[in-house]
Amino acid sequence: MKLRDLLSSRVRQAMSVAAIPSDCQPMVAPSKGPQFGDYQANGAMAAAKRMKTNPRELATKIVDALQLDDIAAKVEIAGPGFINIHLKPAWLARELHTTLDDERLGIDPVEKPQTVVVDYSAPNLAKEMHVGHLRSTIIGDALARLLEFQGHRVIRQNHVGDWGTQFGMLITHLQDKMDAEGGKVPKLSDLETFYREAKVRFDQEPEFAQRARDNVVKLQAGDTTCLGYWRTFIEISVAHSEEIYRKLNVTLTHDDIKPESAYNDALPGVIKTLQQQGLAVEDQGAQVVFLDELADKEGNPLPVIVQKSGGGYLYATTDLAAVDYRCHQLNADRVLYFIDARQSLHMKQVFAVSRKAGFATDQVSLEHHPFGTMMGEDGKPFKTRSGGTVKLAELLDEAIVRAEALLADKASDLTAEEQKDAARKIGIGAVKYADLAKTRTNDYIFSWDSMLSFEGNTAPYLQYAYTRIQSIFRKARIDGDSLTGAIALDETAEQALALKLLQFEEQLDQVARDALPHLLCTYLYELSSLFMKFYEQCPILRSDIATQVRDSRLRLCQATARTLAQGLELLGIEVMDRM
Ligand code: ARG
């Protein structure tokens, strides 16, 4: 149920009765404070301006025509023409009751499902996954989960980098190792070391460097021996990424991998299309598209190289082929790219060329959703003490170890196994949530202490709120899922909590539209805080509390727990019954 949409449509009807032009918006939004009611309709001011009339008078006309008797207890006009709507607690209670009858908390799948391609994670397979891949992986996965939950057809695309000149050096090194081991595939438990070894040899052994270069040519020409080594290497690297996805509770699977190399055969066609349309022209031996729409201040069009003078293709060429595939084979309505803000210009170029050349369909929405950099507490990009890149695998292990230590400090009745499970959920949840809760486009500071705190806008705080509710159910000796009693909202704290619970669906819409998961985090945090307030002010299991009141309050607990668990699941974060 979307409160906001419901109120908007009622206000719209009233505006039409008041003879306001139909393109004037009702502008309904949650109120900024309880003194302004639960929702505000602020459209009277803009409409009055358009109609050159007095806004307060116009607001009065709207209110006179407004039919909200079933929903609202009071509708008031404030200031220059704000319409404040106070909802009826009994109506809120009934609505909440209905949402609880539904497994999906009353959230219907969208009427018009779209095909949405989500491009995320996409590490380069030459190296081990490092913290630079964390944001794309976590944020992209949250959006993929959410869009799927809303009923869209989500196609995950893990556009991994598995092609390019570095692979010559890597497969040559692998070849030598395997030759030395009689053909046995070495265990590359540490891809980073393997990469470094290959690089050192490439820089120091001219004979190795020559073979590596020859192997690049052979690989690109489809030489089966070289391709065999390359595949072996890629498999090991993919297995490494998949282990990280499992640890991170990220939904990407093997089938979602659509590597750069998958587009190799399409690249000559991309160039040909661009040439035929007169978009790509030769410039110093290279094929270049000049974009007027991205010209500099002097009006010089921006050159985008799509083929190097030696005939080699570029990162952008592959992305053009990928747009074509996503639009014409996958029939995407939306393509979401979760890539570092530093690639913004690259994405602009790819989108502009795709539109001109028709790789993109007219109706597709191509969206780059950039994000900032993860910083260390020193305010510089996050590095190890010695200045190296932080491996994702090690970072996640550390998160779990730190969460274990936290739990060990608490008096708990968990078995060793339960404690281990809880530590994993808390540690991984903390890392993910700390990222998701920040406005995506900003840089953010990675801080163990703040992300693992049980206070503030953190995963442990939300997980704790959830376990707190479960412990109430245990104390009451009831199964929280099976509650069905009536809900009554007599206290202000109960009303505020119920209203927030009913706003879950409209919040999800905004997160999905703008690809901003931090809005969902803020929502869940506010929900937990309202719950804590309710819990303090409204005793539940105290012996002097009437059964009916107690049961109604337990229902509010149930609604909060279910909304928290659902919201966190959409973010890819797990809850637990005890901690
Ligand atoms: N592999 C690239 C990198 O690590 C990211 C790829 C993102 N996706 C894309 N379609 N360009 O920078």
Whole-number pLDDT of residue 325: 98
Ligand 1 site, residue 339, Cβ cutoff 6 A: yes
Ligand 1 site, residue 159, Cβ cutoff 6 A: yes
Structure tokens at 25: 């918006």
Where in 89-210 does DSSP place strands (E)? 115-119, 153-157
Whole-number pLDDT of residue 562: 98
Sequence-ordered list of residues with C-beta below 8 angstroms from that of 565, at least 6 positions apart, any chain: 466, 575
Q: Which atom of ligand 1 is nearest to the CA of 346?
A: 11
- Give the type of residue at 495: Q
Ligand 1 site, residue 130, Cβ cutoff 6 A: no
The whole model's pTM is what? 0.95
Q: Give 355 Cα–ligand 1 centroid separation in angstroms.
A: 20
- Give the type of residue at 237: S
Ligand 1 site, residue 437, Cβ cutoff 6 A: no
Q: What is the pLDDT of residues 521-560, one digit of tens each?
A: 999 999 999 999 999 999 999 999 999 999 999 999 999 9
Q: Give 453 Cα–ligand 1 centroid separation in angstroms.
A: 33
DSSP secondary structure string for all residues of 448-512: HHHHT-SSSSSHHHHHHHHHHHHHHHHHHT--GGG--------SHHHHHHHHHHHTHHHHHHHHH
Whole-number pLDDT of residue 443: 92
Ligand 1 site, residue 161, Cβ cutoff 6 A: yes
Sequence-ordered list of residues with C-beta below 8 angstroms from that of 195, at least 6 positions apart, any chain: 126, 127, 128, 170
Q: Are 459 and 525 in contact (CB under 8 A)?
A: no
Whole-number pLDDT of residue 387: 80
Whole-number pLDDT of residue 33: 86
Atom 8, ligand 1: residue with shortest CA distance = 159
* Mutational test site, ligand 1, from 125, 137, 159, 359, max ligand atoms within 8 Å of CB: 159
Ligand 1 site, residue 119, Cβ cutoff 6 A: yes
* Cα 469 from Cα 461, distance rounded (Å): 13
Q: What is the pLDDT of residues 458-498, one digit of tens each?
A: 999 999 999 999 999 999 999 998 899 999 999 999 999 99
Q: Give 159 Cα–ligand 1 centroid separation in angstroms.
A: 6
Ligand 1 site, residue 319, Cβ cutoff 6 A: yes
Q: Give 239 Cα–ligand 1 centroid separation in angstroms.
A: 18
* Cα 18 from Cα 552, distance rounded (Å): 41
- Give me the residues of the chain with pLDDT under 50, please: none
Q: Give 517 Cα–ligand 1 centroid separation in angstroms.
A: 21
* Mutational test site, ligand 1, from 134, 336, 343, 349, max ligand atoms within 8 Å of CB: 343
Ligand 1 site, residue 333, Cβ cutoff 6 A: no
- 5: number of CA atoms within 13 Å, CB side? 10
